[in-house]
Structure 1
Amino acid sequence: MLGGMTTNADEPATRPRRRTPAGAAVLREDVTEAIRAAVFEELAAVGYARMSIEGIARRAGVGKTAVYRRWRSKLHLVLDVVSAVAVGGLPVPDTGSLEQDLRLLYEVTARALRHPLASQILPDLQAEAARSPEIAEAVQQALRDGQAGVASGIVAAAERRGEIRPGADRDLALDLISGPLYWRSVVIRAPGLPKDHLETLSRATAQALRAL
């Protein structure tokens, strides 16, 4: 503390600051967001294997210490970003209809998977996962947690409306809901979706869920 001022973990010590608890490091949210954005750009540019904390920091316009204050390794940084996108990027729709809930989810997911950065990053992480059990487990967990929350919300709403029977297998429901579009867009990387594909997929998935 200098002259009644506290220092910020990401700002010069000479700037006046509001008093914070002793020993507390104030992490600026704009710096955190800049680092997260840099992770996506760096992954798309060089891939996970060649990506470095130095490169991320340089792209974000911060020092390496700003990155290490938030994440202890490259892997934890990437998984945190992937998990945040998986969980926060998808809504839990409740349109009043199982089929329409699925259609809305698929529209949002399809747009996300078509994003240039996503189309480069996801296959690269899948390739790294094939070489590293640690990355494989962590990536699968991050993606599954995000999708599971959305799928469970859709199934729970459908159960309340009486569209599917109570106690349906949630793991199987997640596979039915998330598998087909991810397979087509990420695994085999089909060039685009046929007209009315999402509508047909929504209808077929709803029928499968009703049969659980």
Structure 2
Amino acid sequence: MATDNRRVPAGAAVLRGEITDAIRQAVMQELAAVGYGRLSIEAVARRAGVGKTAIYRRWSSKLEMVLEIVSRVAGQSLPLPDTGTLQGDLEILLRIVARALRHPLASQIIPDLLAEAARNPRIAQTLQESLRVNQRDVGNQVIGRAVDRGELPPGTDPDAAVDLIVGPIYWRLAVARTPLPDDHLPRMAASVASALGAGPPTGPGRSAAADGAATLPTPR
């Protein structure tokens, strides 16, 4: 069996993963602390403990750096376990979204980037593309499973459903910044399921969780 003994050419830049990770974390912290408008390459380098050259080896500008990092974060898939019912799945999704929106970094970064998106078409496009991919993934999982179980009719629009699911919690936490009562997310999940016209599970997608065996994660 042949062995690949190729080496990186002499003089070629080797981008160490731990440095890239440190820079990405520093960017998120700087965005939360000062916002996109006041963020600088110098401040990111200081926070990451690297030289500016390390940043410019990876990204050509502040905008390119922020777009790549925000795209990675916004496009991350959400772990959505199958509880066996639409209402159970919705409650888990709402807990995940609420936890993300209350995160110390995200709660500062999201409003700032949305404001920047109104002024910068490239930021707007990146956010829209990343979030749309995530929305389709969430919709296909949650709504697709509900259709398979017979809770929702075939042809239910996943994108419209996700708007209905996520919109109210985003408004409450990111815009109005209103605290959530302990029973708010279960009540919201029930209301959204009702608004979507969900019936009891009847199809082959029904699982033991539909009979109360599912355990929802406790928000931290």
TM-score (norm 2): 0.79
1:1-212 paired onto structure 2 within 5 Å: 20-22=7-9, 25-88=13-76, 90-190=78-178, 192-210=179-197
Aligned length: 193
Higher helix fraction (1 or 2): 1
Measure, in 2, the Cα distance between the counterparts of 1:20 and 1:68. Answer: 24
Per-residue deviation at 1:25?
A: 4.3
Answer 1 or 2: higher relative contact order, Cα 8 Å, separation at least 6: 2
Moved more, 34-43 or 142-151: 142-151
Could you list the per-position Cα deviations for residues 146-180 of structure 1 after superposition, in whole angstroms to 9, with x for gaps in the alignment? 23322221111111111111221122112112211
The letter of the residue matching 2:192 is: T
1:165-209 CA-to-partner distances (Å, cap 9, x unmatched) read 12211221121122111111112222x112311001111111223
The percentage of counterpart residues that share the same residue type is: 58
**Equivalent residues of 1:38, 1:59 under 8 A apart:** yes
Structure 2: gaps spanning 5 or more residues: 199-220
CA spacing shift, 1:19–1:53, aligned 2, 3 Å: farther
Q: TM-score, normalised by structure 1?
A: 0.81
After superposition, give the CA deviation of every residue in 1:121-155 in whole Å (9 maximum; x if it has no partner): 11111221222233223223223322332222111
The whole-number CA distance in structure 2 between the counterparts of 1:201 and 1:75 is: 37
- Structure 1 residue ranges without an equivalent (≥5): 1-17
